[in-house]
Structure 1
Amino acid sequence: MGSEAEIPRKPRFLCLHGFRTSGEILKTQVHKWPESVLQMLDLVYLDAPFPSQGKSDVEGIFDPPYYEWFQFNKEFSEYTNFDECLAYIEDFMIKNGPFDGLLGFSQGAILSTGLPGLQATGVALTKVPKIKFLIIIGGAMLKSPSLAEKAYGSPIECPSLHFLGETDFLKQYGMELIKCCVDPVVIHHPKGHTIPRLDEKGLETMLSFVDRIQNMLLDNK
């Protein structure tokens, strides 16, 4: 066994963007993070399957096109095109995988929080390897009762990193999500519903998380 066998590989994450944005926009947002973090991860960005059906909050900040993962009612309790969204993600993972984890922001984060449980209960992603890690930015739980029962009926066991913004309108829901996780690590930041830059403490927390999941991949070879 040479020393090369000891080099951990980069954890590979499928990155799911926010509502009515795009993979390219998420990439721009994530690239606010230091190179010391980005060089440790293999990040793959996917556009959601449905073109935006209304105005995007990022118009005038980021160029179109904009996409959405699924549609929902005013109470966020009923979803449209959710099954199609799951099939679309699974098809991409089959063709471009394998992936170790999911990174999600906003609608992409909400979707990501549900996928490990939906996978474990046989509802989604049954043809791809188990999701091992989550990075959740501005996230919450799925609110559709039928989906939530399957997604969160058991605790989320995979290691997860959560970004909680002090003025994020989803903060309270993000805190509820963390209670459903067995192994959560939390980065608090003073901003709102956004992907923040990393301060010294946040950077240290994130590097420690990435180092740990890299070593888990090494141990599971």
Structure 2
Amino acid sequence: MATSQDEKKMKILCLHGFRTSGSFLQRQISKWDPSIFSQFDLDFPDGVFPAGGKSEIEGIFPPPYFEWFQFDKDFTEYTNLEECISYLCEYITTRGPFDGFLGFSQACIHIKLIKPGSNHHPAQGLGHELTRGATLSALLLGYQAQGKVLKDHPPFKLFVSVSGSKFRDPSICDVAYKDTIKVKSVHFIGAKDWLKEPSEELATAFDSPLIIRHPQGHTVPRLDEAATEQLRAWTTEILSHNNKILKGENHELENGETKVDDEEKKPEEVSNKIDTAQVQQDGIGIELKREVEVVKA
């Protein structure tokens, strides 16, 4: 019975940040009420490459630490990015299918945000959490939508972004963010996060994003009651919609619309059923457009 229940859970691939680990991201997410993701299967893999230098979490969380790929100081030139994408696509194909991503930040775009002549490192005092899992996740979502990767994998259904942002390379942007990404997404944006504006920009790449704001900096935030309920409602709506599909009550098309079996139905009955289904689906979109201000750390 336990195996049957596990098989029905939606699977989320959780990508950690720069020179940290899957175990560290798992600890970060443990700040949240466990009921939020209790009906999901969360997978926390380690990055492709061993950390090539000092980790910002040394002394805070035990090694080993990992990297997904490497980059220059302006975060415009990348090394081993294609290898990273290939690795993740293989991981997703062999261990999936997955229903979505959860990722934290993206690292080193902060170099562009430092005032000229300043010696201040924006990571100081912000929890030593320099990562890029959310940015990498969004890249894969955009690439799949454009048919660049994972062509045989089912479309992803959800994305949880914490302090995420876009890649800056125009050759990547012109593909990954060419069209609005039609994946249900929630974006955590901190009032004191140096990546606040880039996180806002990433949210605009998605259709009807839910934005949860918090007063903290560059971190996986602790959520107050209001934010917890908002996130729980978001996951509940997604689970409900997915369960209806699995039970055969409706069928999801590639464009996200709802197809209703209309054989042997009177025209007025078909029309009414389609209208009801559309209202139910649009309700998800309405819910996702709401924003919540987190008032507690």
Q: Could you state the TM-score of these two structures normalised by the residue count of structure 2?
A: 0.69
**SS at the partner of 1:86?**
helix
CA contact (8 A) 1:90 1:127 kept: no
Q: Deviations over 1:130-171 (max 9, x none)?
A: 221100011001112111110000011111011111111111
**Gaps (5+ residues) in structure 2?**
1-7, 106-131, 247-297
Equivalence for 1:192 = 217
Task: Assess, with a 3 A threshold, how the Cα gap between structure 1 residues 205 and 158 changes in structure 2: closer, same or farther.
Answer: same
Q: Deviations over 1:86-127 (max 9, x none)?
A: 111111112211110000012110101111111122322234
Equivalence for 1:182 = 207
In structure 2, which of residues 234, 238, 248 is the aligned counterpart of residue 209 of structure 1?
A: 234
The 2-side partners of 1:110 and 1:217 are apart by: 25
Number of aligned positions between the proteins = 214
1:86-125 maps to which residues of 2 (within 5 A)? 86-106=85-105, 107-125=132-150
Q: Which amino acid aligns with 2:33?
A: P
Equivalence for 2:49 = 50
Report 1 or 2 for greater relative contact order, CA contacts < 8 Å, sequence distance ≥ 6.
1
In structure 1, which of residues 116, 128, 140 is the aligned counterpart of residue 165 of structure 2?
A: 140
Equivalence for 1:6 = none
Deviates more, 1:156-165 or 1:119-128: 119-128
Q: Deviations over 1:54-105 (max 9, x none)?
A: 1111111111111111111111111111111111111111221111000001
Task: Assess, with a 3 A threshold, how the Cα gap between structure 1 residues 38 and 133 changes in structure 2: closer, same or farther.
Answer: closer
Q: Which amino acid aligns with 2:52?
A: Q
**Gaps (5+ residues) in structure 1?**
1-8
The 2-side partners of 1:165 and 1:83 are apart by: 30
Quick one: percent identity of the two aligned structures? 45
Q: Which amino acid aligns with 1:186?
A: I
In structure 2, which of residues 124, 128, 153 is the aligned counterpart of residue 128 of structure 1?
A: 153
Equivalence for 2:191 = 166
Query: Are 1:60 and 2:85 an aligned pair?
Result: no
